Structure formats: C-alpha cells, structure tokens
Amino acid sequence: MKLILYGTETSPPVRAVCLTLRALGLEYEFRQVNMQAGEHLDAEFVRKNPQHTVPMLEDVPDGSAEEGQCIWDSHAICAYLVRKYGKNDALYPKEYFQRAIVDQRLHFESGVLFHSGFKQLQRLVFKENATEIPKEKISEIHQGYELLEQFLSGNDYVAGAQLTIADFSIVSTISTLHLTYAPVDGTKYPKLSAWLARVATLSYYEEANLQGARALAEKVRAKLPKQFDKLWHKAFAEIKGGAGKA
C-alpha cells in the first residue's frame, strides 16, 4: 500500500495524523496543499473531498495505478490507521468502554477545542483581520483547559493510563493554542502542563507536531502585535530560542 497525506504542517488536525503515522511507524508521502493559494478548492481536491478540508488521506493499494480510497477528518483518519495498520489496538482500544472514552475525547477536540475554539480565533485573525482577541474568546479556551485538567485527574493521558490517538488529536490543538492565543499556565493547570511536557518527550513529537505549531505561532504573532507585546513576549522568546517544548 501507499499512503498519501494531503495537508500543511501549520494545520493542527494534519499534525494529529502525522503523529499517528509516526507512532505506527508507517511510511507516507506528504503532499503540500497551499491553503493560502486556495489549492484545497482545486477541482481535483474537491472531487476527492467535497468538504475541501485538510488533512485528507489517500490509501492506495499495492500495485494499483488507480487512485486510492480517500478519507478526511483527522479523527476518522487516525482511527482508520490504527485499525488497519496497527500491530495492536493500544492507540485505539477495542474494549467498548475504553474506546468510548477515546471517542468522547476525539469529539471534544473536534467540536469544542477546534471548531468552537481555535477555528473561531483563526477566522477573527486571518479572515476578519482583528488585531486583538476579545477576552471572552480567550476565556472560552480556558474553559477547555479546565475540562482537560479534570480529564487528566489521576491519568497520565487524556483518555486514561495509556497514550492514544486522543492525545495526538488534543495535543495538536492545545500545543498550538499554547504557543498562540492562550499559553497554558503551569501553576493554574499543572496536570495539563505536565501532560504537554509528557507528550513532548515522544521521539517524533518535534518533527510531527512542534515544528508546524511554531510556524503557525510566528504567523499569528505577526498579525497580533498589540497582544504580543502585552502577553506573549516570553512564550515567543522561548519559541525562537528553540525551547517551549510544551
């Protein structure tokens, strides 16, 4: 088989899939989709994914000259990869209750953290050209952090004692929010902050997630000079210095 991942490294859901591919030790071809140039709206891409979102995965069977099966939505892709190619079910447990917890966290990322949180902020900054983010929007992000702090109570990972695709999904967005709109304060959110540091120790984390999160942070910073001066000087200095793992 041949796996082709369409996307851009600045996109959190694309990075969730990169983390999953790396965790499973799968080889894949990365095809850049330049969103600013509107490449996701090209007829060919929309034919394969009418929702024109990245990530999209194309799974081409061995020896096939034809196009493969296309899957989009990072959560569906990550689950598919573990089911089809995982040597075991550790990253997406088969046991009903454990799987329900992982699924709940995936939906939480999709509906709350990403769509109601991160994507709204991106729209404000990159589409509506806001130069400062209203406080209410930031406090909505913090409500998400508070919930994660509870999910992590007594657990090393967001869905329990083991690393799962829910961690990959949630870390892709949280590490991005941490470096952009709402730094995770370790004194206020000790468990969330320790979890970020824990996931960051994965050998493929820097390449699969942190580089893209940093690249996006630089773009956000350039769009929000006032907010940057007030709030994020330290966080961005850390990014530039190569620190800011979490």
Ligand X SMILES: N[C@@H](CCC(=O)N[C@@H](CS)C(=O)NCC(=O)O)C(=O)O
Give catalytic residue positions.
Answer: 11
Can residue 105 be called a binding residue for ligand X (CB under 6 A)?
no
For residues 115 and 175, the answer to whether their CB atoms sit within 8 Å is no
Among 15, 49, 58, 74, binds ligand X (CB under 6 A): 74
Shortest distance, position 74 Cβ to ligand X, whole Å: 4
By beta-carbon proximity to ligand X, the closer residue of 55 and 144 is: 55
The encoded tokens of residue 140 equal: 């909505």
- The interface region with ligand X, picked from 42-50, 57-65, 71-79, 178-186 by CB under 6 A, is 71-79
The encoded tokens of residue 96 equal: 């009903």
Among 20, 49, 110, 209, binds ligand X (CB under 6 A): 110
Tell how far CA 69 is from the center of its chain: 23
In whole angstroms, what is the distance from residue 40 CA to residue 32 CA? 10
Q: How many residues are given for the chain?
A: 246
Shortest distance, position 187 Cβ to ligand X, whole Å: 30
By beta-carbon proximity to ligand X, the closer residue of 7 and 183 is: 7
By beta-carbon proximity to ligand X, the closer residue of 74 and 193 is: 74
Q: Among 17, 187, 132, which Cα is nearest to 85's?
A: 17
Can residue 53 be called a binding residue for ligand X (CB under 6 A)?
yes
Residues that bind ligand X (rule: CB under 6 A) add up to a total of 12
Among 9, 58, 73, 167, binds ligand X (CB under 6 A): 73
Q: Among 63, 55, 73, which Cα is nearest to 2's?
A: 63
Half-sphere exposure of residue 38: CA atoms within 13 angstroms, side-chain side: 3
Among 3, 5, 6, 11, binds ligand X (CB under 6 A): 11
- 136-140 long-range Cβ contacts below 8 angstroms, 24+ apart: 137/181, 138/181, 138/182, 140/116
Can residue 244 be called a binding residue for ligand X (CB under 6 A)?
no
List contacts with ligand X (CB under 6 A). Answer: 11, 13, 40, 52-55, 73-75, 110, 114
